[in-house]
Amino acid sequence: MANAKLAGAKSLAHQMILVTGGAGFIGANFVLDWLARAGEPLVNLDKLTYAGNLTSLASIATDARHLFVRGDIGDAGLVRSLLERHRPRAIVNFAAETHVDRSIHGPGDFIQTNVVGTFALLDCIRAWWRELPPTARDAFRFLHVSTDEVYGSLGPGDPPFSETTAYAPNSPYAASKGSSDHLVRAYHHTYGLPTLTTNCSNNYGPRQFPEKLIPLMIVNALEGRPLPVYGDGRNVRDWLYVGDHASAVRTVLEKGRPGETYNVGGNAEMANIDVVRTICRVVHARRPELDCERLVTFVKDRPGHDRRYAIDASKIRRELGWTPSETFESGLRRTIDWYLDNGDWLASVQNAEYRKWVDLQYA
């Protein structure tokens, strides 16, 4: 890709991994967690769309273990050059368009990145992987990070989503991620590529672009702006702290069986209005002058808004020994404290385009 920028001239000669989408919310938190806990070098490939932010990685800007590359997973030439130069032992794919509301307004970007991009990435990896020596080929892993939204919507009494729940995506975003999951599955069963897939519940935590529910509520509460809640606010989600998600991905990469899918949840099923009220309570405790609950404003519901998601994460607990460390309350307190302490980061992402989007979406 013509505008690809390689941050460093030399190959990482020792064992390492390749992370795609590592400047986005979940990807950046994973990269920071990986370097802090595993210590293994990585190459970080990110297109730097509106949701990608190198400021999130400022603390490792001079860390020799982190090589940032600006580029697209759909650029086969760039991906092939990275594979040949660095010979990663594993690839963790976070690269995706992820916001349901944006997919409703403009589904084309979601198809291009999540479907076409994932196909291009898989096909490039497959060709390179087949040429590896047998030992390296057997040890290689491709981990694809996906979402619980591919399963559709649950009724109030329905059992949570399991790994065998049939796919029934209801938004263009969910459909594009479901398509990418099917491609990953097909490349394992047809070509033998050693893949792993994780389907996670709603993430929250530091460094999340404030178009999603929790950071949007925090930002608006701090500014005294309305807190827009879709419909009656009773849509239910399971909430997963992003640090717990990072630990789950590390666990699946280390212990997961190729060809398998693992659901990752936070054991925190809550209605949106209860999430918002909890945010108000914690913000008020941190900033007593802010009375956020009076700002709650119910707005027109999102088209096709799924009523309930819930995750059965018993497989990853039973087979790999992973469970979340944070409760919703503890994770939310950490999240709000991070936003309170990082005003410069918040200011850097709230540009005119962002303001225009929020005003349009919640008018």
Which residues have a catalytic role annotated?
A: 148-149, 173
What DSSP assignment string belongs to 22-33? TTSHHHHHHHHH
Distances (CA, A) of 123 to 16, 94, 131: 21, 17, 13
What DSSP assignment string belongs to 61-89? TT-TTEEEEE--TT-HHHHHHHHHHH--S
CA 326/CA 286 separation, integer angstroms: 19
The answer to whether the CB of 239 falls within 8 A of the CB of 266 is: yes
Which residue(s) pair with 147 in the sheet? 200
Question: Three-state DSSP class for 332?
Answer: helix
Residues 6+ apart with CB under 8 A from 202: 148, 213, 237, 238, 239, 240, 309
CA 54/CA 48 separation, integer angstroms: 8
Cα radius of gyration rounded to whole Å, the chain: 20
Q: H-type helices in 100-171, by residue range? A: 100-105, 108-110, 118-130, 134-139
Instruction: Give ∠ CA 183-189-190 in degrees, rounded to 5.
Output: 85
Q: For residue 245, give both structure tokens.
A: 């998600």
